[in-house]
């Protein structure tokens, strides 16, 4: 899976302070003198919405990762490997190791999920929040199984991020497969007519087209392409099942 650096930036800017202020304070100390000086310096000079620092936002992503990981009462190596790979695609090895050390401390804490999510919701555009839910399901599926308790936590996060039910169910169906998954991906039911299937496909293909997140960079487009492919695969399987032309 490709992860977009711009996903960490959120596209709209990051609001400092809030419930993760204490975590950021710890991060300043653990990242080293040069990096923390650069980090705090960017705060001192102010930042526009397009100048958000990825290091600010990654702390919050780690909080959400921790919530999902702990949901089933297990901390699996496959999940830790997923997170490390996520970080490696955004930062170098040295920074990744420091973030992984910070993540171990985050796992020991219980941060207010609603407050953290509301801070994200204010700072990320809608396409980026959809990608974030996609990433969280990717973490849940890292061990080959999407645990019901992890699904419950991701659902709660989606609600706090103001992701509507159909969007959430569509992304969930890309990971938690059942007999109606293809229909859920297209946000329809099995009872719809063939013309309605085609209409739903066109709508979802447009909604998840990689061009929709072109402003967030090439890496995030690659992540969007996964959802776009899932929509195409679901449509073609429905066509095959129904004998549609």
Per-residue pLDDT reduced to its tens digit, 132-152: 898 899 999 998 888 999 999
The domains of the chain are located at 5-180
Residue 3 DSSP label:
-
**Taking 80 as the threshold, does the pLDDT of residue 33 lie above it?**
no
Cα angle 208-160-109, degrees, rounded to a multiple of 5: 115
Q: Which residues contact 91 (CB under 8 A, 6 or more apart)?
A: 99
How would residue 47 be classed by pLDDT, with cut points 50, 70 and 90? very low
Residue 11: which region, alpha, beta or left (left: phi > 0; alpha: psi -120 to 50)?
left
How would residue 126 be classed by pLDDT, with cut points 50, 70 and 90? confident
Asked whether 150 and 206 are in contact (CB, 8 A), the reply is no
Is the domain spanning 5-180 CATH 1.10.238? The answer is: no
17-31 pLDDT, tens digit each: 555 555 655 555 555
Q: What is the pTM of this model?
A: 0.74
- Cα separation, 60 vs 65, whole angstroms: 9
170-224 pLDDT, tens digit each: 999 999 888 889 999 999 999 999 999 999 999 998 888 877 766 655 556 676 7
- Cα separation, 178 vs 161, whole angstroms: 25
Please report the pLDDT score of residue 217 as a whole number: 55
**Taking 90 as the threshold, does the pLDDT of residue 3 lie above it?**
no
**Taking 70 as the threshold, does the pLDDT of residue 155 lie above it?**
yes
Q: Give the burial string for 162-181 (b: 16+ CB within 10 Å, else e).
A: ebeeebbbbbbbbbbeeeeb
Q: Is the dihedral of CA 53, 81, 98, 24 positive or negative?
A: positive
Token pair 């739903």: residue:
200
């Amino acid at each position: 899976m490709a992860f977009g650096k711009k996903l960490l930036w959120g596209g709209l800017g990051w609001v400092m302070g809030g419930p993760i202020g204490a975590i950021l304070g710890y991060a300043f100390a653990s990242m080293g003198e040069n990096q923390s000086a650069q980090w705090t310096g960017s705060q001192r000079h102010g930042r526009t919405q397009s100048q958000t620092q990825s290091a600010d936002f990654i702390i919050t992503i780690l909080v959400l990762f921790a919530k999902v990981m702990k949901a089933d009462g297990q901390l699996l190596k496959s999940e830790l490997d997923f997170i490390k790979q996520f970080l490696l695609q955004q930062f170098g090895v040295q920074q990744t190791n420091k973030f992984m050390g910070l993540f171990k401390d985050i796992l020991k804490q219980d941060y207010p999920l609603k407050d953290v999510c509301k801070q994200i919701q204010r700072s990320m555009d809608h396409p980026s929040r959809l990608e974030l839910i996609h990433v969280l399901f990717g973490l849940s599926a890292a061990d080959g199984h999407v645990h019901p308790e992890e699904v419950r936590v991701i659902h709660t996060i989606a609600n706090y991020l103001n992701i509507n039910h159909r969007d959430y169910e569509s992304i969930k169906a890309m990971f938690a497969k059942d007999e109606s998954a293809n229909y859920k991906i297209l946000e329809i039911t099995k009872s719809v007519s063939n013309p309605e299937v085609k209409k739903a496909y066109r709508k979802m293909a447009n909604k998840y087209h990689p061009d929709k997140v072109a402003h967030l960079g090439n890496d995030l487009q690659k992540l969007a392409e996964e959802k776009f492919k899932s929509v195409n695969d679901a449509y073609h399987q429905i066509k095959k099942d129904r004998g549609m032309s």
